[in-house]
Amino acid sequence: MAMVLITGFDPFGGETVNPSWQVAEALHGERIAGASVRALRLPCVFGDAIAVLGHALKHEPPALVFALGQAGGRCDLSVERVAINVDDARIADNAGAQPVDRPVVAGGPAAYFSTLPIKAVVAALRAQGLPASVSQSAGTFVCNHLFYGLMHLLATSPALAATRGGFVHLPLLPEQAARQPGLPSLPLGTQVHALRIAVATALAHERDLVQAEGSIA
């Protein structure tokens, strides 16, 4: 049976929860469109996050990897297009590290594109009444770092040649937004439902839709 790996992060930046892990954990053990879902919790730590993911990928090559992260302030499910080869941390990670302008992988390409059908996923979510968009930047903190590390592993490991992967940033949960008035949020159940649709769509679409989802700036 095909396996789908969904990763989520530990809470960071003073939060006590992270929607990305809550969503991944909720889906662990489910079967979506004939594939079994496995969840993996990652430390919000430069270096370690990629090491833990790399270890898991060695065990069993998944058909798909959906890496998830929290993006406080974003109002919808942000399906990331591109991972860039730079760490530039505005805050310290959970181990106290704050790299500035360092490559994720020395000598690696400047960027990798997601190999998930990002536009098909956004279209499917919107068709089900869920807010979603293509994002042109996953930032320069641990999420982009992990996304780049994932895509580098998929691009360079022969055993993972058939694995497709990418990254989705999630809005805050309502209980987080209640402590930060004005920030948008989506309930956990809605986020979990959205991920089910995203995974099913990615399994069904080897190729992406050709449909404008760019931004002017």
Q: Which residues belong to the active site? A: 80, 143, 169
Pairwise CA distance, residues 1 & 3, whole Å: 6
Of 71 and 202, which has the nearer Cβ to ligand PCA?
Answer: 71
The residue number whose beta carbon is nearest to ligand PCA equals 143
Of 115 and 141, which has the nearer Cβ to ligand PCA?
Answer: 141
User: In whole angstroms, how far apart are CA 69 and each of 36, 109, 172, 173?
Assistant: 21, 23, 10, 12
User: In whole angstroms, how far apart are CA 184 and each of 13, 75, 108, 168, 172?
Assistant: 17, 5, 35, 16, 7
Stretch that binds ligand PCA, among 50-58, 126-134, 139-147, 192-200 (CB under 6 A): 139-147
Tokens of 157: 């490991």
Of 142 and 203, which has the nearer Cβ to ligand PCA?
Answer: 142
Per-residue binding string, ligand PCA, 93-132, x by CB under 6 A, is ----------------------------------------
Per-residue binding string, ligand PCA, 27-66, x by CB under 6 A, is -----------------x----------------------
Contacts (CB under 6 A) with ligand PCA, residues 12-31: 12, 18, 20
Taking the complex as a whole, the smallest distance from the CB of residue 70 to ligand PCA amounts, in Å, to: 4
Rule CB under 6 A: say whether 70 interacts with ligand PCA.
Answer: yes
Binding site for ligand PCA (CB under 6 A): 9, 12, 18, 20, 44, 69-71, 139, 141-143
